Copies of this chain bind each other. A is one copy, B any other.
Amino acid sequence: LKFSVLAGDYIGPEVMRSALRVLEKVAAQEGLKLDYSEHAVGGCAIDAHGTALPEATLTACEAADAILFGSVGGPKWESLPPKEQPERAALLPLRKHFTLFANIRPGLLYPELREASPLKNERIPEGIDIVCIRELTGGIYFGQPKRTTLLNGGTDVESVDTMIYRKSEIERITEVAITAARSRKRRLCSVDKANVLETSVLWRKTVSDYVAANAPDIELSHMLVDNAAMQLVRDPGQFDVFVTENMFGDILSDEMAVICGSLGMLSSASLGARKNTLGLPYGLYEPAGGTAPDIAGKGIANPCAQILSGALMLRYSFGLEDAATRIERAVREVVASGTRTGDIAFGRTAVGTEQMTEKILGAL
């Protein structure tokens, strides 16, 4: 199992250690060996090498079958312009370089953890179980032209961004969404703004046509993005899988994350267009949360999101579905049985990163 480890800043390396221990154990159980190397990324890479994504890191990732990513950024680099901040300056080039077009984010809240959600318990009787599929390499993030021009002899300024989608880009993300829906309740909701955007009109038509032609077994619906922002909070139980374009996905996936209570529990997979040496999708796997500078170095960070990201890596880039499920079950079992880090403790005695990891290792 050849992958690159990009742990990043603050709690990044702390929770990464937990994930690697879990992966070591599962690999041993499967009779496989981990073959990974660690590389600089994010704020610490800016400090050490002057860039958030050093050439050497990229080269190492090129030679691997997947990337296990921690998290990057923090107060130390907050005075940098927004576009030079570690998260942005590391993630966007990585996505572009490896054409990581499909971001898969499980929005999962175990019923036992409903207290962690900001939503009233009776709104989420069974917890939450949604998957967000976000297109990750198109739309307004990368569309050209992007420019800023002086107008009227400099008395005004105009800036432009361009949102572009091609039918082929929409089809490939729809394919990923269909696969996700098929592994679940076969209900897919496509989110767009087809009453205002040309790209959304194309989005809606392409998703409709593609599902009709290739996945008549999928129950497809369409929702406008403003309504989706309401429905996620009003009644998350109505969603199974939703798929949307890059910018809407950025907003809605974070909204989905917050109703799930703790970012410390949420993982994500970003799958590439190209295949790795196993013929499976090259991918980048990372927790949904950030570097949590306030708790860094204290050994109390929740390692679950990073561990679950490792599970997603086994599933998608290494085809080890059983091993992935085993990790997911172990995490759930430990949390449900009441072993909790501070972010999800709610009055219980909280355990540290180390103890949490031991418990999960024990449950494997």
- A residues engaging B (CB < 8 A)? 82-83, 85, 87-88, 92, 117-121, 123, 140-141, 143, 146-148, 151, 156-168, 193-202, 204, 206, 224-227, 229-230, 233-234, 247-248, 250-255, 257-259
Contacts and interface: CB of A to CB of B under 8 A. Distances in A.
20 contacts: A83-B194, A88-B195, A92-B196, A118-B233, A118-B234, A119-B120, A140-B197, A147-B198, A156-B166, A156-B167, A158-B164, A158-B166, A158-B167, A160-B198, A161-B163, A161-B197, A163-B163, A225-B251, A248-B251, A255-B255
A235 to B, nearest CB: 8
Contacts of A193: 247, 250
Given A146-B198, A156-B168, A254 B227 contact: yes
A82 B162 contact: no
Contacts of A164: 158-160
Contacts of A146: 197-198
A158 B165 contact: yes
A193 B83 CA distance: 10
A200 to B, nearest CB: 8
A83 B202 CA distance: 12
A68 to B, nearest CB: 23
Contacts of A224: 82
A273 to B, nearest CB: 15
Given A160-B163, A166-B151, A202-B159, A230 B250 contact: no
A230 B201 contact: no
A234 B289 CA distance: 14
Contacts of A162: 160-163
A29 B266 CA distance: 57
A9 to B, nearest CB: 16
A259 B233 CA distance: 7
Given A119-B118, A123-B118, A151-B166, A226 B199 contact: no
Nearest to A255: B229
A198 B161 CA distance: 6
Q: Which A-B residue pairs are the 5 nearest by beta carbons?
A: A159-B202, A82-B195, A82-B194, A88-B195, A230-B258
Interface centre among A123, A251, A257 (most CB of B within 10 A): A251
Nearest to A236: B118
A200 B250 CA distance: 15
A198 B229 contact: no
A123 B161 CA distance: 37
